[in-house]
Amino acid sequence: MSSGSNYLDPDRPGAVRLSVGEARALGEAALARIGYDADDAGIITDQLIDNALCGYRFAGLPRILAIAREAKTRDTRASVTVAHETPVSALVDGGNNVGYVAVYRGAEIAIAKAKQTGIAAVGIYNSYFSGATPTTSNISSMPGLSACIPPAARRTSCRPAQPARLWAPIR
């Protein structure tokens, strides 16, 4: 860090600095150009900005380049759907959506179930690039909820959930 700087990384020639608003506009526009609608682009961009603000520069807006290069991004996407559920659990088909969207939608399902039943477990498959999911974890920091986010695993070692998520109320 340079003397007197509040940047997370050293200031260097060629560095581009953006406000959160500028970063959001740039991220959403870039994602729209590779086929994401405004809602999904907003979800993805919010998580990438959160990553950058937490000091994970590689997982900030530059991640859009990796998403764009990923062959799965060019494949057909479907809505995130519940493939199987019980009152306390759901198995979610990510619809070949980038994990930032699939995990966000899975978190919404888990939170609703946890509020109703006291505990919830949601597994998500058919998605990619879920990252550190800090924004998804922040959703679960609502009063009365706690989150446990186990790491992602390959299908050969953890079937069929690709990342699994668990939310439970704090008593």
Give yes or no for a cis peptide into 143 (omega within 30° of 0). Answer: no
Q: Determine the Cα–Cα distance for residues 108 and 77; give it in Å rounded to an integer.
A: 19
Residue 48 has a pLDDT of 92
- What is the rounded average pLDDT of the residues 120-145? 71
What is the reported pLDDT for 51?
85
Environment class of 31 (CB within 10 Å of its CB; exposed 0-12, middle 13-18, buried 19+): buried
**What structural domains does the chain harbor?**
20-69 (1.10.1530), 81-169 (3.30.1370.60)
pLDDT of residue 138: 58
Q: What is the pLDDT of residues 148-157, one digit of tens each?
A: 666 555 543 3
Give the 3-state secondary structure percentages of the chain, helix then strand then coil, rounded to 5.
40, 20, 40
Report the pLDDT value the prediction gives residue 161, as an integer from 0 to 100. Answer: 39
Residue 18 pLDDT > 70, yes or no? yes
**What pLDDT is attached to residue 101?**
92
pLDDT single digits (tens) 67-109: 999 999 999 999 999 999 999 999 999 999 999 999 889 888 9
Nearest-angstrom CA–CA distance, 81 and 164: 15
Which residue has better confidence, 28 or 120?
Answer: 28
Given pLDDT bands bounded at 50, 70 and 90, which one contains residue 158? very low
pTM: 0.78
pLDDT band at 166 (very low <50, low <70, confident <90, very high): very low
